[in-house]
Structure 1
Amino acid sequence: MGAERRNHREWLERWFQAALTAVDPARCLPPMLPEPGAGKTVVVGAGKAAASMAAAVEANWPGPLSGTVIVPYRHAAPTRSIEVREAGHPVPDEAGVAATQRLLGQLEGLEERDLVLVLLSGGGSALLTAPAPPLTLADKQATTRALLRSGAPIDAINTVRRHLSTVKGGRLALRAHPARVVTLLISDVPGDDPATIASGPTSPDSSTPEDARRLLDRYGVPCGTSVAEALDRAQLPPRPDDPRLRRVSCHVVAGAQAALQAAAQAARAEGMTPLVLGDTIEGEAREVARVLIGMGRSCRRWGAPVPPPCVLLSGGETSVTVRGSGRGGRNTELALAAALAAEGIPGFHLLCADTDGIDGSEDNAGAVVDPASLARARAHGLDPWAYLADNDSYGLFKAAGGLLHTGPTLTNVNDFRALLIP
């Protein structure tokens, strides 16, 4: 690796680390803790950051605690009194069903004087697994896989999930009634809507089962007999005016914007001009890649919207319509598509990563590309266009170099992209 290339990648990784530090639960959660209640405090939650959030609560809570949180495999963190259970993600499994039943058992017999502290982050939808009758776990797994491959945005996916569950869409809060419920959220969704984060288990929901049916049809997801029957039998989730939610509150403690602003500050300290394009960018990963590179070309040619040396920062959640049989999450696919869009243009360096450290279901956070990425791939006998068509960005970058590995970060504010134009 040449010194210049190494220096650019080091810059990008430092800015990514600054973003992660800004949304570390140990830093952002304690100032948002509520006052203790007169009764007992029960902590429940789910998501990729749930264990580190629970650890932050324990480190800053003045009294006794109990409860259960659910995290994906390899996302546990040490806790003293809050139980951490691991389960499958992004496709639910038997461990998730058992852990959810354990968590719901913590909410039985509560009184008005008690406090339920709910810790939610991205990933909670798959981990909180309580299929609505007559669905089986296998039904939920098949529907989840189809939704994830369909290219549907996260708000559409979670709308369907809410109507196929007995715990999402405000139903968890009903289990805790009449206790006071305070939900702290680390947002992984564009717009930071509590009803979408982890499919809103403590948030009111104005959607209907018919909305779920329309979304399944729009994205070509088969509505099997069990799914159709579950939607026919589904009761409406609690509405915003439901009196049982009167003592329920939700607070976002961290989101993508905080991460992007921290990265911008770090880039500015390195002499770069940062421009935050937004924290709510959605769309097909390949299309977002082309737009991003187009903006970079404008910066280089016209000095607009900012002149080099600069870095364009963005977040949100892209999607991938899977048509091939390869490996790779949305960030790794975006990186490959961006490298192809920028081919022949000197001086582009791009980091694309999921802030949870796991891009899709692979072992990498994302990928880093530079002006020589495609040449290295071709030197290994690889055809980048063919790999993109097969949705095999992971395979290309594994062979040619460029994968970014962080391991689970124990936080999650979704996609992070930094396009450096020196």
Structure 2
Amino acid sequence: MVTAFGRYLWLHSNNRLIYKTWNLKRLHLHSASVINKEMALRQHGLQIFQAAINAVLPQNMMKKNISIEGDRLMIQNQCFPVHKNVSLVGFGKAVLGMAAVMEEILGDHLLQGAISIPLGIQRILCEAGKEDMLLKPNTKIQAMEGARHNLPDENALKAANTIRHLVEGLAADDLLFVLISGGGSALLPAPIPPITLEEKQYVTKQLAAKGATIQELNTVRKMLSVLKGGGLARAAYPAQVVSLIMSDIIGDNLEFIASGPTVLNLQSKDDCHKILSKYNLLLSMPESVKEVLSQSSMKVDKEEIQTFAHVCNFIVGSNAVALEEAKHKSESLGYNTYVLSTAVSGDVRTVAKLYSLLIRYAYSVLAAASSKYVHVSKLKDEILQMVVNLELPDFQLDGCLKLLEEAQSSKKSICLLAGGETTVQLQGKGKGGRNQELALHVALELHSAKSKFPQDLLTKHEVIFLTAGTDGQDGPTEAAGAFAYCELVDKAFAEGLNTEDFVNNNDSFTFFNKFNNGMDQIVTGLTNTNVMDVQAIIIQYNEI
């Protein structure tokens, strides 16, 4: 756990954000009022982020969607009879909490279970006093930890083999619950022989380094895996399979959540070849991978489709649910709030330009009465073009404009929310994650555009940008995300830190760890949930 002075720490014991005492003598801030304003914005941002996470905690989502009366289990108005014939498997960052709820709901109907969960999650929750997220002492569910830093490892492979062995032993009168959440791909690695775990890891790392989307990564993973791409459901046949899914995929496409272990794979090895060719990786693949991809793939026929008639998939949590609760929290704090999109994706550099334009756009609307800063139409056209380029079909700019116009007359503060998952193209050897990298790029974009903000308007408004992962783990780091704002680059330079150097080395974690006593880095610890990322633009109106 990162412990740099001034850092925020999420305490699971009471689901509140506790702020470490700030040593104001060490902070180079201009006045007490500035300190209070910055503290308030960060506090509000973190409270909004916390609300998003709370909305999709396993115990909240599961109990909202599932109930039992006698031997009738109801899931989203669909009934499943249970007669002490239930087995349970699961894999993902939210699965421990999901399993704890299912264990409570099913009672004696549950016969056996096996779950693959992140390394250290049980200890973290135990130390935080979160007993409601832990299995019972006399549990029938075997919990196996692995996938350090969200990467497949030998422990995760052993867990996958245990899960495979369990489901292969089921019969037609058995009922299998499959719990799936973000991080499930790394926690269920079972490569097709002769591919080794290391070789599959190599393929995944090469694609990620090239900036491949999660959909592209999962397309390749499925073709190299025994259990992904419907493999788990086939292994469990003829048992009834019911999957309960926390989505970490834009659009909630079941094929791509944890690489679709209970969903019929409609993609082909030709799709795999196209993705590897797109990133110039086809020739550099291990020979075992080339061998598997060269084998003729089975076509999806009527018999294969019929085989999946024993499967029911339910989404019980998503980014949209998290953002809706974040919106309610933001409004309760006095902000005019709007959800822009639940599908923000693309390279962090491009997405950072979008958010910088949005902040400039918000300022231009708020300053529309000023002849010095009327560029609303031009900025709107730039944003719309960028939305098209990024292929964000649900982006709601018109609703944002209406909200900003209302804020201009009412002088109320505003909060613009969005969610999704960005990608990073690696070019350095630093330590970071997509959210911290996005925050750094937003800071650089705002710094470049600073001259275009009229000083009188900057005086009237405080702005801060937040981006963080709902799982609490931004890449292979201990942070969830970070804040950005107009003055960040200048303040960093005053501390002897060149922001561009850290960006060029993909070293965002190190930057935020060093900068501003760590106050702009968001550290939550593992949250035991995962529905992608949350972003917020908070613009607070200051009484002059």
SS of the equivalent of 2:501 reads helix
Once the two structures are superposed, residues 332-363 of structure 1 have per-residue CA deviations (whole angstroms, 9 ceiling, x without a partner) of 00001111111235432011100000001100
1:185 and 2:245 are equivalent in the alignment: yes
Q: Which moved more, 1:80-89 or 1:122-131?
A: 80-89
Once the two structures are superposed, residues 32-91 of structure 1 have per-residue CA deviations (whole angstroms, 9 ceiling, x without a partner) of 334343351111011111111101111222434221111121233521221111111532
Structure-2 change in CA distance of 1:416 and 1:405 (3 Å): same
TM-score by length of 2: 0.75
1:20 and 2:53 are equivalent in the alignment: yes
The answer to whether the Cα contact below 8 Å between 1:91 and 1:145 also exists between their aligned partners in 2 is: no
SS of the equivalent of 2:479 reads coil
User: What one-letter code is carried by the residue in structure 2 that aligns with 1:21?
Assistant: N
Q: Which moved more, 1:148-157 or 1:303-312?
A: 303-312
SS of the equivalent of 2:360 reads helix
* 1:234 shift after superposition: 6.2
Q: Which moved more, 1:246-255 or 1:88-97?
A: 88-97
* 1:366 shift after superposition: 0.6
Structure-2 change in CA distance of 1:270 and 1:239 (3 Å): farther
1:340 and 2:444 are equivalent in the alignment: yes
Q: Give the Cα–Cα distance (whole angstroms) in 1 for the partners of residues 493 and 114 of structure 2.
A: 49
SS of the equivalent of 1:110 reads coil
Q: Determine the structure 2 residue equivalent to 1:229.
A: 291
Q: Give the Cα–Cα distance (whole angstroms) in 1 for the partners of residues 354 and 121 of structure 2.
A: 34
Q: Give the Cα–Cα distance (whole angstroms) in 2 for the partners of residues 37 and 173 of structure 1.
A: 19
1:81 and 2:140 are equivalent in the alignment: yes
Cα RMSD for the two superposed structures:
1.7
The answer to whether the Cα contact below 8 Å between 1:163 and 1:231 also exists between their aligned partners in 2 is: yes
Q: Determine the structure 1 residue equivalent to 2:14.
A: none
1:201 and 2:261 are equivalent in the alignment: yes
Q: Give the Cα–Cα distance (whole angstroms) in 2 for the partners of residues 193 and 319 of structure 1.
A: 18
User: What one-letter code is carried by the residue in structure 2 that aligns with 1:54?
Assistant: A
Q: Give the Cα–Cα distance (whole angstroms) in 2 for the partners of residues 115 and 212 of structure 1.
A: 33
Q: Determine the structure 2 residue equivalent to 1:244.
A: 307
SS of the equivalent of 1:107 reads helix
Q: 2:435 aligns with which of 331, 335, 338?
A: 331
Q: Determine the structure 1 residue equivalent to 2:484.
A: 369
Q: Determine the structure 1 residue equivalent to 2:63.
A: 30
Q: Give the Cα–Cα distance (whole angstroms) in 1 for the partners of residues 287 and 150 of structure 2.
A: 23
1:151 and 2:211 are equivalent in the alignment: yes
The answer to whether the Cα contact below 8 Å between 1:37 and 1:114 also exists between their aligned partners in 2 is: no
Q: 1:72 aligns with which of 106, 110, 118?
A: 118
Structure-2 change in CA distance of 1:158 and 1:323 (3 Å): same
Structure-2 change in CA distance of 1:44 and 1:372 (3 Å): same
What are the ranges of 5 or more consecutive residues in structure 1 without an aligned counterpart?
Answer: none
* 1:292 shift after superposition: 1.2
Q: Give the Cα–Cα distance (whole angstroms) in 2 for the partners of residues 147 and 177 of structure 1.
A: 33
What are the ranges of 5 or more consecutive residues in structure 2 without an aligned counterpart?
Answer: 1-23, 25-34, 67-72, 74-79, 123-132, 367-399, 408-412
1:142 and 2:202 are equivalent in the alignment: yes
Greater fraction of residues in helix: 2
Once the two structures are superposed, residues 236-277 of structure 1 have per-residue CA deviations (whole angstroms, 9 ceiling, x without a partner) of 486686221111011110100011111111111111111111
1:394-405 alignment to 2 at 5 Å? Answer: 394-400=509-515, 401=518, 402-405=520-523
Q: Determine the structure 1 residue equivalent to 2:185.
A: 125
User: What one-letter code is carried by the residue in structure 1 that aligns with 2:497?
Assistant: L
Q: Determine the structure 2 residue equivalent to 1:381.
A: 496
Q: Determine the structure 1 residue equivalent to 2:353.
A: 290
Q: Give the Cα–Cα distance (whole angstroms) in 2 for the partners of residues 139 and 115 of structure 1.
A: 35
Q: Give the Cα–Cα distance (whole angstroms) in 1 for the partners of residues 481 and 237 of structure 2.
A: 41
Structure-2 change in CA distance of 1:75 and 1:233 (3 Å): farther
User: What one-letter code is carried by the residue in structure 2 that aligns with 1:421?
Assistant: I
The answer to whether the Cα contact below 8 Å between 2:446 and 2:485 also exists between their aligned partners in 1 is: no
Kindly, what percent of the aligned residue pairs are identical?
36
Q: Give the Cα–Cα distance (whole angstroms) in 2 for the partners of residues 273 and 146 of structure 1.
A: 43
* 1:31 shift after superposition: 3.6
1:94 and 2:154 are equivalent in the alignment: yes
Structure-2 change in CA distance of 1:421 and 1:237 (3 Å): farther
Structure-2 change in CA distance of 1:26 and 1:120 (3 Å): same
User: What one-letter code is carried by the residue in structure 1 that aligns with 2:121?
Assistant: H
The answer to whether the Cα contact below 8 Å between 2:83 and 2:109 also exists between their aligned partners in 1 is: no
The answer to whether the Cα contact below 8 Å between 2:231 and 2:262 also exists between their aligned partners in 1 is: yes
Q: Give the Cα–Cα distance (whole angstroms) in 1 for the partners of residues 440 and 50 of structure 2.
A: 22
Q: Give the Cα–Cα distance (whole angstroms) in 1 for the partners of residues 61 and 423 of structure 2.
A: 28
Q: Determine the structure 2 residue equivalent to 1:299.
A: 362
* 1:227 shift after superposition: 0.9
The answer to whether the Cα contact below 8 Å between 2:84 and 2:109 also exists between their aligned partners in 1 is: no
The answer to whether the Cα contact below 8 Å between 1:30 and 1:57 also exists between their aligned partners in 2 is: no
Q: Determine the structure 2 residue equivalent to 1:54.
A: 99
User: What one-letter code is carried by the residue in structure 1 that aligns with 2:414?
Assistant: C
Q: Give the Cα–Cα distance (whole angstroms) in 1 for the partners of residues 466 and 301 of structure 2.
A: 41
TM-score by length of 1: 0.96
SS of the equivalent of 1:246 reads helix
Q: Give the Cα–Cα distance (whole angstroms) in 1 for the partners of residues 291 and 492 of structure 2.
A: 49
User: What one-letter code is carried by the residue in structure 2 that aligns with 1:332?
Assistant: Q
Structure-2 change in CA distance of 1:136 and 1:273 (3 Å): same
Q: 2:227 aligns with which of 154, 159, 167?
A: 167
* 1:231 shift after superposition: 1.1
Structure-2 change in CA distance of 1:239 and 1:267 (3 Å): farther
